[in-house]
Amino acid sequence: MDITAITRGASELHAPAPVAAPDKAAENRQIVQAVKAVNGAEMFGEENELRFTRDALTNKMVIRVVNRKTSEVISQVPEEYVLRLAEDLKQSG
């Protein structure tokens, strides 16, 4: 059996080129600009604004419509009970 032929063939194999990661900073800037445009257009009324946050327990993105004056959450996606359910499932699993 010719071992050099096997070794030589193995050295010719190449790992696939890594896929370039998207520029997260540029992506974040685009999201911030989009949110500013939506809030500037007062799409949720002149007293409300769109906010993106990260839930501290689940580390999931949360989108909220919030009253600018009172900071009351008008609506939220995903809803709070869904976030807590996800956290409970994560802890029990």
Over residues 48-69, the mean pLDDT reads: 92
Q: Could you give the CA distance from residue 71 to residue 66 in angstroms, rounded to a whole number?
A: 6
pLDDT over threshold 80, residue 71:
yes
Give the confidence band of 18 by pLDDT, cuts at 50, 70, 90: low
pTM given for the model: 0.64
Domain boundaries, the chain: 47-93
